[in-house]
Structure 1
Amino acid sequence: MRALSQNSSPQRLLVAAVALGLTAAAAFAGTLGANAALPSTPSGWTQVFADDFTGSAGSGVNTANWQYTTGTSYPGGPANFGTGEVETMTSSTTNVRLDGSGNLLITPVRDGAGNWTSGRIETVRSDFQPPSNGVLRVEARIQLPNVTGNSALGYWPAFWMLGAPYRGNYWNWPSIGEIDIMENVNGINNEWATLHCGTTPGGPCNETSGIGGQRACSPTTCQADFHTYRVEWDRSTSPQQMRWYLDGVQFHTVNANQVDVTTWTNATNHGFYVILNVAMGGGFPAAFGGGPTSATVSGIPMKVDYVAVYSKAGSGSTSSPTPSATTGSGTRDAYSTIQAESYNSQSGTQLETCTDSGGGQNLSYVTNGDWALYQNVNFGSTPATQFYGRVASGAAGGVSGLVQIRLDSLSNAPIGSFALANTGGWQTWSTVPANITAVTGTHNVYLTFSSGQPADFVNVNWISFGH
């Protein structure tokens, strides 16, 4: 899914790096040792997630924080993860393990038949986004696989983020947004940073290349030492902005007004999850010499010292802005199943694995005041008069609430609702119908929740409408 462009030669990258200020980068990189602990929270920020990969040598990752992605694709998604990479991802500690010294190792390995395995982990959480008028900061300290030249052909390590609506859909890339904080290929001393959005091929974000920038590591190479890779997603500026940093030095910026409003909203008005992986082969390595080949060396890990996510509150309202309804690309059909996890934005909810028919994920831990937004829902010219919700509840006795539908603004009155109490368990599913005020045209649909008790009262798998 990641950038496939070849923007500059290594020689030009080195010149660009000098122009951006190598002295500051060197000073920053030199302040931390090879197995440094998680740094203290930067002044003005609040830590919202962190893992410094402390644990016994040979153990797996903390599955409260991370989930393994295995195989050669997401279930039902594009083959080879949509990028042409050739490895099989596993949860084996051969490919993903702690080193006992505070580092995570993700290691590609070739077997005797020439087949590659590697590792890909993703945060369980998929709600990382800035608060309204605030800033999100996502960073990691990483040493890239220490291999170069022909021995490195095909290596593709990455630290990146995908929009939450991708989970359970797997065919809505790049519209749901991808933020590549760090990518590297073929052992080149360079970091690539990219925002993917819009449509492919081409579109407002120049896919499949995306809107990218790049910078060389210095004074040590990206492969020879640890460096710190960071993105800041800033909703406090006008226009909104994303900024990329290598060892504390900013080198790439994307402003919201570089694309149209709908593209930016679709790509950013929701949470994200964080990914660490080392792919082998595919389109990006192919742009820089190809691989893997028989000369490619097996078993060289990407080392991750820590991953941390910070948030900085903004001034004014803490609720997300209400976008206006739009038509065109990205329109949803009101009369097909709208998966609850495919929201464009939400407040208060979480996602969990769903055991209902079809699997995927569901909204969970939903309580009074929570909401989820589904943009561009097309009801057509024949009025919709019914709403259906696939819901479950394990709420305690006496706890119940309303599942409501609102159009275009959280402040608008509901057009319909149904009440829900315990259904027999949080994964005991029932389809509940409700009458709604007749609706035509295209609208932003808010799913809102109201209860007289401060307790979780509903899980939601999907919603739909009928005549």
Structure 2
Amino acid sequence: MRDTSGTPRKRRPLRRAFVAALGGLGLAAAAATLAVPSANASAPTPPSGWSQVFLDDFTGTAGTGVNTSNWQYSTGTSYPGGPANWGTGEVETMTNSTSNVSLDGNGNLRITPLRDSAGNWTSGRIETTRTDFQPPSGGKLRVEARLQMPNVTGTAAEGYWPAFWMLGAPYRGNYQNWPSVGELDIMENVQGLNKVWATVHCGTNPGGPCNETTGIGNSTACPNTTCQSGFHTYTMEWDRSVSPEAIRFYVDGVNYHTVTASQVDATTWTNATNHGFFVILNVAMGGAFPDAFGGGLDSATESGHPMVVDYVQVLQAGGSGTTTPPPTGSRDAYSTIQAESYNSQSGTATETTSDTGGGQNIGSLANGDWALYQGVNFGSTAATQFNARVASGAASGVSGLVEVRLDSRTSTPVGSFALANTGGWQSWRTVPANISSVTGTHDVYLTFTSGQSADFVNVNWFTFGH
């Protein structure tokens, strides 16, 4: 329902929801777990078969900004060279001020729109630094946030437009290719109405196969408590394990909107989904969407009602080939550790490998990425060797280090090796490296360091030796 094309729009009536079966995802059964009653709940433990690929639970000192390793601020009234007023006709200026975007000290993020004495509005818009969120081939991606919309209704709420949404990675730095690169609106609300809207944008604007600028959307009331008076969990699940591929939207585990690949032509779907996405949280003021429901952003609109976000979490599951989940106990340092069995990571993607034995590898590895493997037991006889199964299709001149660190991803590496192009991203070789003597049980971080920003390595598995 956000139009980033630069043409302010009136909202046309929403198309009918395209409802599909849940496909055994079990979200409705998990609704009680997802809709945690306290305001500063931790993110729920990933269900069996799912792994966590991103989490921010907004833990930190009250009055501080967001973790800039996870988020970047979008400020002003547009992207550089992009459409004015963020392409939607909204009127606020986005800032990185802690008056507009800050932690509350109780495990929550607050994005607060404010009006000054001259009647000018400021607010906040943050985006994940990562742009690679998409399901593995044949697998699923779940993106969810537990949040409370601005707790304001009626005349005082006119013009409020909170949102939790995603844009296709090709939009970043281009700003002219919407809606073809895809947009997934997981939660939008206007005017303090007790409704949540979910929408897929794609194709061409105006009109086209995705009914732009409206998109393919639907809305529903929040269960139990209103959207404004309580916390709810808003979820998007993108499922590549079914045919046709499906994108499902939920509030507190209830599926109220589904869009499938069969609803548009193959080219439109591919252009909108065959890449990663980044996540956005913001509260806009005014614009075409609120205008379509009465608008009225004026002196009666109350300043200072925040959207409060408990956590944002991204999970993935399955995929073609055999995925190895993290073990429930300790790991043996001298047995093969599958790279995709990480406990947590940043910047990686899981894909099917053509290496001997099949299964999956982790890829898209570039400078600053990492993967964590907890509870690796080296025993009492010191390990002095590290071996990793790696491949690279990096461009000429692109190389980097695969490093082993213990107990912290910022600790000094105990060993590393350099890697450049091996002949292709599935051209595998086993590379050995010496490491400092290691005994006992440690959390092992594989970290990836390069002087270039491009991907430089895939990892299938690794092990240690004496």
Task: Name the TM-score, length of structure 1 as normaliser.
Answer: 0.68
Are positions 1:80 and 2:80 aligned together?
no
Q: How far apart, in 1, do the equivalents of 2:457 and 2:287 lie?
A: 48
1:241 aligns with 2:241: no
CA RMSD of aligned residues (A): 3.5
Instruction: Note if contact 2:283-2:307 (Cα within 8 Å) is conserved in structure 1.
Output: yes
Q: 2-side partners of 1:188 and 1:30: how far apart?
A: 20
Summarize the Cα distance change of 1:268–1:30 in structure 2 as closer, same or farther, 3 Å threshold: closer
Give 1:449 shift.
6.9
Amino acid at match of 2:280: I
Question: Which stretches in structure 2 are left out of the alignment for 5+ residues?
Answer: 4-9, 18-27, 323-349, 354-361, 369-389, 403-416, 427-449, 462-466
**Taking every aligned residue pair, what percent have the same amino acid on both sides?**
64
Instruction: Give the conservation status (yes or no) of the 8 Å contact 2:112–2:123.
Output: yes
Does structure 1 conserve the Cα–Cα contact (< 8 Å) formed by 2:391 and 2:422? no
Relative to structure 1, the CA distance from residue 393 to residue 193 in structure 2 (aligned partners, 3 Å threshold; closer, same or farther) is: same
Give the counterpart letter for 1:59 in structure 2.
T
Matches of 2:40 and 2:401, distance apart in 1: 45
- Provide Cα deviations, 1:186-216, integer angstroms capped at 9, x if missing partner: 1010000000011100111111111101110
Please tell me whether the aligned partners of residues 400 and 418 of structure 2 are also in contact (alpha carbons under 8 angstroms).
Answer: no
**Distance of 2:452 and 2:43 partners within structure 1:** 37
Q: Which residue is 1:331 aligned to? A: none
Map 1:176-191 → 2, pairs under 5 A: 176-191=181-196
Please give the alpha-carbon distance, in whole angstroms, between the structure 1 residues aligned to 2:278 and 2:105.
Answer: 26
- One-letter identity of the residue aligned with 1:426: G
Partner of residue 165, structure 1: 170
Q: Conserved in 2, the CA contact under 8 Å of 1:29 and 1:226? A: no
Q: Distance in 2 between matches of 1:320 and 1:206?
A: 35
Equivalenced residues, count: 353
Counterpart secondary structure, 1:220: coil
For 2:321 and 2:399, the matched residues in 1 are separated by 35
Alpha-carbon separation, structure 1, partners of 2:131 and 2:56 = 15
Secondary structure of 1:426 counterpart: coil
Q: Which residue of structure 1 lines up, in the alignment, with residue 214 of structure 2?
A: 209
Measured after TM superposition, the shift of residue 7 of structure 1 is 3.4
Tell me by how many angstroms 1:44 deviates.
1.9
* Aligned-partner Cα distance in 1 for 2:422–2:170: 21
Q: Does structure 2 retain, via aligned residues, the 8 Å contact 1:156–1:186?
A: yes
Q: For residue 304 of structure 2, what is the aligned residue in structure 1?
A: 299
Deviations 1:110-165 (A, max 9, x none): 00111000000111111110001000000000100001111111100000001111
| CA-CA distance at 1:24 after TM superposition | 8.0
Q: Distance in 2 between matches of 1:448 and 1:25?
A: 37
Matched position secondary structure for 2:392: coil
Q: Distance in 2 between matches of 1:227 and 1:267?
A: 28
> Retained in 2: the 8 A contact 1:228–1:247?
yes
Q: 1:294 to 1:46 in 2, by over 3 A?
A: same
Equivalent pair of 1:121/1:276 in contact (CA under 8 Å): yes
For the Cα contact (< 8 Å) 1:137–1:309, is it kept in 2?
yes
- Counterpart of 2:190 in structure 1: which amino acid? V
Q: Structure 1, residues 365-387: CA drift from partner, whole Å, max 9, x if none?
A: xx94357xxxxxxxxxxxxxxxx
Distance 2:367 2:205 in 1: 28
The CA distance in 2 between the partners of 1:36 and 1:449, in whole Å, is 38
1:392 Cα shift?
A: 6.8
* 1:315 Cα deviation after fit: 3.3
Distance in 2 between the 1:395 and 1:25 partners?
41
**How far does residue 349 in structure 1 lie from its aligned partner after superposition?**
4.6
In the other structure, the counterpart of 1:5 is: 11
AA in 2 matched with 1:85: E
Tell me the equivalent position of 2:204: 199
| Distance verdict in 2 for CA 1:109–1:400, change over 3 Å | same
Q: Which of these residues, 364, 369, 383, is aligned with residue 348 of structure 1? A: 364
Change (3 A) 1:102 1:285: same
Distance 1:390 1:122, change over 3 A: farther
1:369 aligns with 2:392: yes
Q: Please list the CA deviations of residues 387-417 of structure 1 after superposition, one character each: whole Å capped at 9, or x if unmatched.
A: xx89777889x9674599x9xxx99xxxxxx
Alignment check: 8 A CA contact 2:35 2:252 kept: no
The 5 A counterparts of 1:237-316 are 237-316=242-321
Q: Is the 8 A contact 2:31 2:253 kept in 1?
A: no
State the distance in 2 between where 1:450 and 1:40 align: 30
The secondary structure found in structure 2 opposite 1:112 is: coil
Rounded to whole Å, the distance in 2 between the matches of 1:205 and 1:291 is 29
Structure 1 unpaired stretches of 5+: 14-22, 322-345, 353-366, 372-388, 412-424, 429-446, 455-467
Q: Structure 1 pair 320/283, CA: closer, same or farther in 2 (3 Å)?
A: farther
Contact in 1 for aligned 2:63/2:104 (Cα 8 Å): yes
Seen in structure 2, the aligned counterparts of structure 1 residues 51 and 448 have a Cα distance that, compared at 3 Å, is: closer
The one-letter code of the counterpart of 2:128 is T
* Cα 1:370/1:173, change in 2 over 3 Å: farther
> Is the CA contact 2:142–2:237 (under 8 Å) kept in the aligned structure 1?
yes
State the distance in 2 between where 1:63 and 1:368 align.
Answer: 30
Secondary structure in structure 2 of the residue aligned to 1:80: helix
* Aligned equivalents of 1:62, 1:203: Cα separation in 2: 39
Change (3 A) 1:140 1:448: closer
Tell me which amino acid in the other structure corresponds to 1:276: L
Deviation at 1:64, TM superposition (A): 1.0
1:39 is displaced (CA, Å) by 1.6
* 1:125 maps to 2:130: yes
TM-score, length-normalised on structure 2?
0.68
Residues 319-364 of structure 1, C-alpha deviation per residue, up to 9 Å, x if partnerless? 489xxxxxxxxxxxxxxxxxxxxxxxx9515599xxxxxxxxxxxx
**What amino acid is the match of 2:282?**
N
Change over 3 Å in CA distance of 1:236–1:266 after alignment to 2:
same
What is residue 451 of structure 2 aligned with on the other side?
A: 426
Q: Which moved more, 1:306-315 or 1:192-201?
A: 306-315
